[in-house]
Structures are given as structure tokens and as C-alpha cells.
Structure 1
Amino acid sequence: MSENNPLPFYLQFTAGAIAGVSEICAMYPLDVVKTRLQLKLGNSHSSILDTFKKIIRNEGFFRLYRGLLAPILIEAPKRATKFAANEQYSVIYRKLFNTNELNQKLSVLTGVSAGITEGALIVPFELIKIRMQDKNNVMILNIAIQVGLYETTMDCATKIYRTEGLMAFYKGLEATLWRHAFWNGGYFGTIHYIRQSIPRRKEEDSRLIDNFIAGTIGGTIGTILNTPFDVVKTRIQGDTSTISRSSWTMSYLLQIAKKEGYGSLRPSIRFRSLYKGFTPKVLRLGPGGGILLVVFELVTRWMKNIA
């Protein structure tokens, strides 16, 4: 992501924060729908539109933004980590492998490394977000009055600490690391490949369009790669039980495929259970990846112009 004169870390931090908050505010309702679909067990299915309608009808429009505060609070360090760590790892790996150019393999490696760093940072915030999005944590008293089991973000954090302990905030850590490693590896690797494959245009507006296309394709590839790990992460973090149980990611993946494969012996059908919530997720993170890259590029360009 570097230009000839990369910005100082604190400016990369700011640019990443602005890009992240812009993306999440625009696409967050799809994230709520994705979580609801992933938390469903067994054969129950709903379309994206049907899930939207049910949430708005039964819980109100603003339920689509429930749990937004936690990801907003983490967006600044999260996106700064994504872009700044990717920059730093690219420098480290170029020195390690004694090369001046970031090739395709190294772009994937830097993305994976940045993803692991990012994932380790955001686990508690992701857990709170999942709990706030889960409809089982909303008690509907009647059509007019709705009271959340977790009333606010701080109330959610407090109750998790009191009932499940401090370490509960790191439930799903391993699955989160897998999720972000695969997404960032796919995202940055795809962006590098597309940028190397198309001629670099001089017109700034044309370059922004190219960046949006590259970011959207990168976000889509990353989502295809990481959705099974996201399903596991959502299930583990959505579990409010204090009973100790196996939560290793790979064994959990096999359990989901076995129990929710709709009774079919066909691998394609069993595999489908690992992609619950994929459509709203890819609708968010495909274009969302494009929004991220474009806003980041716009903000960093503006910062360089006024520097």
C-alpha cells in the first residue's frame, strides 16, 4: 500500500480509522443479518430480505445498528493495524528475503501476518458485538416495548465479566486469528495481483475506480476464504454457557459440517453449512473492501498534499 514517501504511523493510524468507520457505518446492517443467519442451527433458512423484514418488524429499524458501538470503538486501532501492520511486515519480509520488490507470495504473507495481529487485538470487541447482535439476547415484552438482555454495550461487557469471567472476553481467539489471517491474506494478495496485472493510470479518478474494483474483488476473495472460520467464531462467541467444551476451530468446523449437513452424504451439501450468512457477508465485505481501500487512499493522498 506504500507510496514513494509513506506517511508516518500516526497519520496511517488516522487514515485507517477514517476508512474503517466509513465502511462500518455504511455496511453494518448486513453484518447484523450475517450474524443472525450464522447463529441459526439445524435446517432453518431465511433469505437476507426476510431477515431484514423480521428484524425491522419485530425489533425495530434501529436494531440493525445494535452493537455498533463496540466495532466503532475498535475501528481506529483495527484498521490502523490492518494497513500499518501490512506496511511494516512488507518491510520486514523484504529484508528477510533480500528483495526490493513485494512479490505475490510476500503480499499474501504480509496480509496473513497483519491479519493475525489485527485479530488478536479485536477479540473482546467482536465478542461484545456478537452478543449484542444475537436476537436471543433481546427479550420482547410486547410490540411497543423491547428490553435487551444486554441493554447497552457497557452493560453487556459488565454482565459478561460478572457471569463468565475475564477470560470470556477471549472466547473464540483462535477462530478469530484464522478468520483475519485468511481474509487479509486474500485481500492484500488479490489487490497486489490486480495492481500488477493492469496498467497504472495517471488520472487520479481512474485510479480510484481501479482501487475500488481491486478492493471489492479482494474483499470478495477474502470472504470466500474466511467464512467457515467466521461461522465458528460466531458460534463460540455467541455461546453464553460457562460449561467448558471443546472450542478448537478445526474440530468445530467438522462438528458443524457433520451435524448441520442436512443429512446428506454429498460433500457439497455438507460444506454449505460452513457458509451460513455468506451472502450478506460478501455483500458487505466485497464492496466494503473497495470502500476501505478508496477512503484510505483518498485520506492519505489528502494528508500528503497538506503535509
Structure 2
Amino acid sequence: MAQEKPLPFQYQFAAGAVAGVSEILTMYPLDVVKTRVQLQQGPGTGGEGYNGMVDCFRKIIKNEGASRLYRGITPPILMEAPKRATKFAANDSWGTFYRGFFGLEKMNQQLSILTGASAGATESFVVVPFELVKIRLQDRASAGKYNGPVDCVMKIVKQEGPLALYNGLESTMWRHVLWNSGYFGVIFQVKELLPKANGKSQQIRNDIVAGSIGGTVGTILNTPMDVVKSRIQNSPKIAGSVPKYNWAWPALGTVMKEEGFSSLYKGFLPKVLRLGPGGGILLVVYTSVMDFFRQWRGDV
């Protein structure tokens, strides 16, 4: 991550924003499919149910049109700049803080995991409202309730109160802590194991390999929390009633008890297909933009 020459926050923010938007424009349909499968309670046998990723893709295109694969993309696009910028900027900032706190000159594996977890917790505060609106728009049952992201926000605030926009903060925090600690921790380790890059093409290769493996490990670690986060955020708050899915760990137990352990990995295939390669895209674009800024500033 070029930690030897940290750039000011505004450059980290811009690089993270460009990386995030590039990743989401490429991989978003997989996110729609992932959410649909995660929200489905019980096995998806026939009818309107989904029997997996390919079946979900097919039924969405057949019954709702291909454009539905991009429904709800506005909140993620608006979210990507602050989200990815926060991810990488917070990771760099926490890394600097922890190196100073522990008196270490360079990052190590343990520090990379701690730094990633801290960056994930920081990032979660930024993304929760955007994630909630995205989930509501992606759910097929909500298709007729909202006329776009602004209408969705207004109706949530009016019907459930403004604090409802932060419904699922706890589960989102767990999701991001697990993903970021796995992602940044694995990136560090894989880069240490790969041959040292000589030239731009080898650097891109190393970033793709490290980022893809990191994204895959992060996805394995955080998918159960992602499943319950989707369920929690898709549960409208109704006065006088307690939602079935409310807090992360109890919701985890409810899903496992009612649907089995494998249900905690619903949507795993489209999620890992997105965030595995997506993790590589993120790292390549972020590193390339940061290198461009260093050249432009004359810091190389």
C-alpha cells in the first residue's frame, strides 16, 4: 500500500473513491443476486424461489427484465466514494497510529489484521444508511413500495423514524470488521510471499493476486454476518413489535436454528465471485491512482 510514502488524506480519499466506483460498476449485478438469495427464507424450490445464483439471474432477467440487475445502484454509487475512501484512508491512518503506539517501524501480519479491523469498524458508520436503502430497493417484495432511493429514504424516515436509517449498524460493523481484517491481513501476507515486483506489470499482477485472495478470505469470514445484516435491514420497524431479526448474534442463531448452518452462507457464490476479483480490482485501481498522484506531486 506504499506505506513508506503516505499521501495527504484528500489523495487517499480520491484514490479510494475511484477504486470503489470502478469495482461496483463491474460487479454490481452479483450483489443484487446475492441479496435476493440471502433474503429468501427456506429452500428456493420452484415458483418464485431461487435455487442458486444462476437460477436467480435467470428468473430476474425473465420475470423482471435485465435492468433489474442494476436496481438500487444509485445508493452504492453514492456510497462508494466515502466508503472505499474511508476504507483505505482509515487503514493507512490506523496503521500509522498502531505502528507509533507499539513502537514498530514496519507493518507485520498481526498489525495488519488489527489495522484492517479498526478500518472496518470506522467504515461501517459511513455505509449503514446507504446499505439499508440498497437492501430495500433490491428486495423483490419492495419493488412497488419505493420509487427510487430518495423516495425510499423519505418513507423510511416518515414511517419508521430517522434512526431507522441506522438499523443494522451492529451487524454491519461486525461484517466490516471481519472482512477488512481478513482482506488487509491476507494482502500483507500474500505480498510477503510473492516475488518482489520489478516493474508496473508485475506490481499489477501481485495486486490482483493479493487482492483477490484477500477478498475471498474476507468473504468466507463475513458472509454469515452479511446474511443477518440483510435480514435485519430488510425488517421495517413497527411500533409495539420486536423484529424477528434485530441483533447480529441472536439473528445468527435464529437463521442457523430454523434453516441450518448452510443458510448462513446463502449468496456466498455471487458474493465471493464479486468480492474475490473485486478485491483485486480495488487494490489495483487504488494502487495505480496513488502511484499517479505520487508522480504528479513528484514524490517518487
TM-score using structure 1 length: 0.92
1:3 CA displacement: 4.0
RMSD: 1.1
Aligned position for 2:158: 162
CA distance in 2: counterparts of 1:91 and 1:289, whole angstroms: 22
CA distance in 2: counterparts of 1:56 and 1:241, whole angstroms: 31
The number of equivalent residue pairs is 289
Aligned position for 2:47: none
- Matches of residues 42-61 of structure 1 in structure 2 within 5 Å? 42-44=42-44, 45-61=50-66
Q: Deviations over 1:56-103 (max 9, x none)?
A: 111111111111110111111111110010001011111111111111
Q: Which one of the candidate residues 125, 131, 149 is aligned to 2:130?
A: 125
Question: Structure 2: which amino acid aligns with 1:21?
Answer: V
Runs of 4+ residues over 4 Å off in structure 1? none
Aligned position for 1:298: 288
- Matches of residues 47-196 of structure 1 in structure 2 within 5 Å? 47-138=52-143, 148-196=144-192
SS in 2 for 1:122: helix
Q: Deviations over 1:119-144 (max 9, x none)?
A: 11110110000000000012xxxxxx
Asked if the contact 1:2/1:87 (under 8 Å) is kept, the reply is: no
Asked if the contact 2:43/2:51 (under 8 Å) is kept, the reply is: no
Question: Structure 1: which amino acid aligns with 2:127?
Answer: I
Aligned position for 1:234: 230
Q: Which one of the candidate residues 250, 262, 265 is aligned to 1:275?
A: 265
Aligned position for 1:201: 197
CA distance in 2: counterparts of 1:239 and 1:5, whole angstroms: 45
- Which stretches in structure 2 are left out of the alignment for 5+ residues? 45-49
1:8 CA displacement: 1.3
Q: Which one of the candidate residues 276, 283, 286 is aligned to 2:276?
A: 286
SS in 1 for 2:106: coil
Q: Deviations over 1:172-231 (max 9, x none)?
A: 110000000000000000000011112212121011011001000000000000000000
CA distance in 2: counterparts of 1:172 and 1:210, whole angstroms: 35
1:241 CA displacement: 4.4
Question: Structure 2: which amino acid aligns with 1:13?
Answer: F
1:46 CA displacement: 1.4
Deviates more, 1:198-207 or 1:104-113: 198-207
CA distance in 2: counterparts of 1:199 and 1:47, whole angstroms: 38
Aligned position for 1:142: none
**1:17 maps to 2:13:** no
Aligned position for 1:220: 216
CA distance in 2: counterparts of 1:101 and 1:5, whole angstroms: 12
CA distance in 2: counterparts of 1:24 and 1:85, whole angstroms: 20
Identity of aligned residues (%): 54
Question: Structure 2: which amino acid aligns with 1:254?
Answer: G
Asked if the contact 2:72/2:149 (under 8 Å) is kept, the reply is: yes
1:47 CA displacement: 2.1
Question: Structure 1: which amino acid aligns with 2:35?
Answer: T
Question: Structure 2: which amino acid aligns with 1:249?
Answer: A
- Which stretches in structure 1 are left out of the alignment for 5+ residues? 139-147, 262-270
Asked if the contact 2:31/2:274 (under 8 Å) is kept, the reply is: yes
Asked if the contact 1:108/1:186 (under 8 Å) is kept, the reply is: yes
Deviates more, 1:7-16 or 1:105-114: 7-16
Aligned position for 1:256: 255
